[in-house]
Amino acid sequence: GAGVSQSPSNKVTEKGKDVELRCDPISGHTALYWYRQSLGQGLEFLIYFQGNSAPDKSGLPSDRFSAERTGGSVSTLTIQRTQQEDSAVYLCASSPNPKGTQYFGPGTRLLVL
């Protein structure tokens, strides 16, 4: 079946602009995670959604970052007033339940000039 999809695959923006990154999880998966992968680094947890519960935002690096998940499916990660240090690959993962295996999408490569 279809895996996790993310769009756009690449995004180039200017410093100070806002960007929106989209994640379509695997159908039926209730848990959704966002991670950030900086150049040559491991993945860093950002935010977690489970069903209709309030999200766990403990990994968001600043208040410029926010995310929402509509209808328990598609999620959007928004970065306001982008900075050069926001340049990274943003990965989304979904899981059938909170304890389940996480399946990753291909990521969105963000470059802030």
Residue ranges binding another protein (CB under 8 A):
4, 31, 33, 35, 40-45, 48, 50, 56, 58-59, 91, 93, 95, 98-107
Find the shortest distance in angstroms from Cβ 112 to another protein.
Answer: 20
Q: How far is the CB of 15 from another protein (least distance, A)?
A: 25
* Spatial CA neighbour of 33 closest among 10, 6, 14: 6
Nearer to another protein, 47 or 79 (CB): 47
Rounded Cα distance between 34 and 111, Å, is 17
Q: How far is the CB of 42 from another protein (least distance, A)?
A: 4
* CB nearer to another protein: pick between 88 and 91: 91
Q: Which is nearer to another protein, 4 or 79 (CB)?
A: 4
Strands 108-112 and 10-13: parallel
Backbone angles phi, psi at 84, to 5 degrees: -60, -30
DSSP-derived secondary structure for 31-58: EEEEEEE-TT--EEEEEEEETTSPPB-T
Q: How far is the CB of 22 from another protein (least distance, A)?
A: 14
